[in-house]
Structure 1
Amino acid sequence: MPQPLIDDIRRLTTEIRALAPRIEQDREVPAYLIDRLAALGVFRLAAPRAAGGAEAEPADLVEVCEELGRADGSVGWCAMIGAATGIALGYLPEDTAAELLADPRFLIAGVAAPMGRAVPVDGGHRITGRWPFASACRQATWLVGGVLVADGTQPPRPRLAIMAPGDLTIHDTWDVAGLRGTGSHDIEAADVFVPDARVFSLAAPPVQPGPLYEFPPLGLLALGIGAVSLGIARAAIADFAELAHGKRNPVTGETIAAKPSVRAAVAEAESLRASGLAYLRAEVAATGADPERRARLRLAVRTATRNAVRAVDLVYQAAGGSAVYAASPLQRHFRDVHVAAQHAMVNTDVLETAGAVLLGESVNTARL
Structure 2
Amino acid sequence: MEPLESVEPLGHVVAMLLPGIAARGDEIEEARRLPADIAQSLARAGVFNMVRPKSLAGLEMAPLDLVGVLHAIARAEASTGWCAMIGATTAINAAYLPHDVAAEVYADPHSITGGVFAPMGRADDMGDHYKVTGRWQWGSGSANCDWLCGGAMVFKDGELQRFANGAPYHRMMIFPANEVELLDTWHVMGMKGTGSGDIAVRDAIVPKARSVSLIADKPVEQGPLYQFPVFGLLAMGVASVALGNAVGAMDEIKALARAKKPQGGQRTMAERTVVQTDLMRAEAKLSAAEAFFRESIAECWEGATTRGELSPQERAKLRLAATHATETSADVAKTAFTIGGGSAVYMTSSLQRRFRDAHVATQHIATASSVYELVGRVALGLPTDTGML
Q: What TM-score does the superposition give when structure 2 sets the normalisation length?
A: 0.92
User: Does 1:183 pair with 2:195?
Assistant: yes
- Partners of 2:139 and 2:78 in 1: how far apart? 16
For residue 104 of structure 1, report the CA deviation from its aligned partner. Answer: 3.8
Give the stretch that moved more between structures: 256-265 or 116-125: 116-125
Pairing 1:14-25 to 2, within 5 Å after superposition: 14-25=19-30
SS in 1 for 2:205: strand
**Alignment-derived partner of residue 83 in structure 1:** 88
Pairing 1:300-315 to 2, within 5 Å after superposition: 300-315=321-336
User: Does 1:205 pair with 2:218?
Assistant: yes
**Alignment-derived partner of residue 296 in structure 2:** 283
CA contact (8 A) 1:111 1:134 kept: yes
- Partners of 2:349 and 2:21 in 1: how far apart? 16
**Alignment-derived partner of residue 237 in structure 2:** 224
User: Does 1:330 pair with 2:351?
Assistant: yes
**Alignment-derived partner of residue 165 in structure 2:** none
CA contact (8 A) 1:111 1:132 kept: yes
SS in 1 for 2:143: coil
CA contact (8 A) 1:51 1:95 kept: no
Q: 1:246 aligns with which of 251, 259, 277?
A: 259
- Partners of 1:116 and 1:6 in 2: how far apart? 37
Q: Deviations over 1:181-205 (max 9, x none)?
A: 0000001110000112211111211
**Structure 1 ranges of 4+ moved more than 4 A:** none
CA contact (8 A) 2:63 2:297 kept: yes
CA contact (8 A) 2:296 2:321 kept: yes
Pairing 1:127-206 to 2, within 5 Å after superposition: 127-152=132-157, 154-155=161-162, 156-203=168-215, 204-206=217-219
- Partners of 2:263 and 2:24 in 1: how far apart? 33
In structure 2, relative to structure 1, the CA distance for the partners of 1:230 and 1:2 (3 Å cut) is closer
Give the stretch that moved more between structures: 280-289 or 136-145: 280-289
Q: 2:282 aligns with which of 254, 269, 272?
A: 269
SS in 2 for 1:335: helix
Amino acid at match of 1:45: M
- Partners of 2:281 and 2:326 in 1: how far apart? 15
SS in 2 for 1:133: coil
Q: Deviations over 1:292-328 (max 9, x none)?
A: 1111100000011011111111111111101000010
Gapped runs of 5+ residues in structure 2?
1-5, 163-167, 304-309
- Identity between Structure 1 and Structure 2 (%): 41
SS in 2 for 1:128: strand
SS in 2 for 1:361: coil
Gapped runs of 5+ residues in structure 1?
none
User: Does 1:215 pair with 2:228?
Assistant: yes
Give the stretch that moved more between structures: 52-61 or 333-342: 52-61
SS in 1 for 2:24: helix
**Alignment-derived partner of residue 50 in structure 2:** 45
- Partners of 1:321 and 1:127 in 2: how far apart? 50
SS in 2 for 1:245: helix
Amino acid at match of 2:17: L
- Partners of 1:349 and 1:247 in 2: how far apart? 40
Q: Give the alignment's Cα RMSD to 1 decimal.
A: 1.3
Q: 2:269 aligns with which of 240, 246, 256?
A: 256
Q: What TM-score does the superposition give when structure 1 sets the normalisation length?
A: 0.97
SS in 2 for 1:299: helix
- Partners of 2:333 and 2:7 in 1: how far apart? 30
For residue 275 of structure 1, report the CA deviation from its aligned partner. Answer: 1.6
Amino acid at match of 1:233: A
In structure 2, relative to structure 1, the CA distance for the partners of 1:145 and 1:324 (3 Å cut) is same
- Partners of 1:310 and 1:61 in 2: how far apart? 24
User: Does 1:59 pair with 2:64?
Assistant: yes
- Partners of 1:97 and 1:106 in 2: how far apart? 12
CA contact (8 A) 2:112 2:144 kept: yes
- Partners of 1:90 and 1:363 in 2: how far apart? 27
For residue 7 of structure 1, report the CA deviation from its aligned partner. Answer: 2.1
